[in-house]
Amino acid sequence: MRVIDLKEEYKPIYFNCLEDWSDEMKEAGTHKECWCNKMENKGLGVKLALDDADQVGGMIQYIPIEYAIAEGKDLYFINCIWVHGYKKGKGNFQKQGMGTALLSAAEEDVKARGAKGIVAWGMPLPVWMKASWYKKQGYRKADKTPGIFGPVLLWKPFTRDALPPRWIHQKKKPDLIPGRVVVSSFINGWCPVQSIVTERAKRVASEFGHQVVYKEYNTSDRDVMIEWGLSDALFIDDKKISNGPPLSYDKIRKRVARKVKKISAV
């Protein structure tokens, strides 16, 4: 097993988060490719883990914290680390040390770039991006989101003068429009999950004509992210909807249809 920097030949599988076999992933469109192209000259780092047969089994992507949904100085932020664990496609690569190797390679890379520390986010529940896994790798909690199930912000300082990061929290909600249902999608582009939800929500909104107003906010624009305090989110009117795993088209449509029925009855 070896870890390499992202090469042109591997970009298609990277844009699909190693799930090029997935029909659902195809719904994500080109959002991640556009994000990658935008971030390449802003310090984006991507590394891939290959097995002995040169099959890509894992990936990690990280950016200067100035482009992430967190505040900090001289730090890098890990958007995600993912080792393919499905039987489909190229098979299960987990439990082979790829995740640890990717994380170590990213840490060494950002040290060489002059970073004073590296930041990650993790879930308190035993699901994807587990906070407990990062803690085993020497990371410690820096901040948390409200509620017991919200993601934890973790970090590993490299220098004594490194300052801990903090989450950027939501600052406002989309405005309501009398007599209309407002569907608002906030999309950064780095994660296909929100890209899939965005494309589905856009399709749903188009089916209701003038009764539904669709708005899309590109939070890879730092000013937009700071204004709202949001990176990836879906709102129906002023209510934030859980978007991971990807909310199905049918569930989005049912939620919108209920709202439309209410305003039509008034």
**Is the bond preceding residue 245 a cis peptide, omega within 30 degrees?**
yes
Question: Is residue 175 included in any domain, yes or no?
Answer: no
Question: Is residue 79 included in any domain, yes or no?
Answer: yes
Asked if 148 and 261 sit in the same domain, the reply is: no
**Tell me, what's the pLDDT at 260?**
97
Asked if 196 and 72 sit in the same domain, the reply is: no
Of the three residues 139, 167, 195, the one that is the final residue of a domain is 167
Q: What is the pLDDT of residues 137-166, one digit of tens each?
A: 999 999 998 766 789 999 999 999 999 999
Q: Are strands 181-187 and 233-236 parallel, antiparallel or unpaired?
A: antiparallel
Question: Is residue 228 included in any domain, yes or no?
Answer: yes
Asked if 111 and 189 sit in the same domain, the reply is: no
Q: What is the pLDDT of residues 50-79, one digit of tens each?
A: 999 999 999 999 999 999 999 999 999 999
- Provide, rounded to the nearest whole percent, the portion of the chain with pLDDT above 70: 98
**Tell me, what's the pLDDT at 124?**
87
Number of domains forming the structure of the chain:
2
Question: Is residue 173 included in any domain, yes or no?
Answer: no
Asked if 97 and 212 sit in the same domain, the reply is: no
CA–CA dist 137, 150 (Å, integer): 21
Domain that holds residue 191: 181-265
Check whether 266 has a pLDDT greater than 70: no
Question: Is residue 139 included in any domain, yes or no?
Answer: yes
**Tell me, what's the pLDDT at 174?**
97
**Nearest to residue 235, comparing CAs of 175, 145, 191, 150?**
175
Question: Is residue 174 included in any domain, yes or no?
Answer: no
**Tell me, what's the pLDDT at 242?**
79
**Tell me, what's the pLDDT at 96?**
92
Check whether 212 has a pLDDT greater than 70: yes
**Tell me, what's the pLDDT at 148?**
65
Cβ atoms within 10 Å of 138's Cβ, excluding its own: 10
Asked if 114 and 238 sit in the same domain, the reply is: no
Asked if 80 and 162 sit in the same domain, the reply is: yes
Return mean pLDDT, the chain. Answer: 95
Of the three residues 117, 132, 167, the one that is the final residue of a domain is 167
Asked if 137 and 208 sit in the same domain, the reply is: no
**Tell me, what's the pLDDT at 146?**
75
Q: What is the pLDDT of residues 24-50, one digit of tens each?
A: 999 999 999 999 999 999 999 999 999
Average the pLDDT over 174-178 and give the result: 96
The domain that contains 233 carries what CATH number? 3.40.30.10
**Tell me, what's the pLDDT at 101?**
98
Of the three residues 167, 198, 224, the one that is the final residue of a domain is 167
Q: Give the type of residue at 106.
A: A
CA–CA dist 110, 74 (Å, integer): 10
| Confidence band of 264 (pLDDT split at 50, 70, 90) | confident
Asked if 129 and 188 sit in the same domain, the reply is: no
| Confidence band of 126 (pLDDT split at 50, 70, 90) | confident
Asked if 68 and 108 sit in the same domain, the reply is: yes
- Please, what is the end-to-end C-alpha distance for the chain in angstroms? 63
Asked if 129 and 254 sit in the same domain, the reply is: no
Measured over the CA atoms of residue 174, residue 177, residue 183 and residue 187, the dihedral's sign is negative
Asked if 207 and 230 sit in the same domain, the reply is: yes
Q: How much is the pTM?
A: 0.94
Asked if 198 and 250 sit in the same domain, the reply is: yes
Question: Is residue 210 included in any domain, yes or no?
Answer: yes
Q: What is the pLDDT of residues 189-202, one digit of tens each?
A: 999 999 999 999 99
The domain that contains 94 carries what CATH number? 3.40.630.30
**Tell me, what's the pLDDT at 59?**
98
Question: Is residue 16 included in any domain, yes or no?
Answer: yes
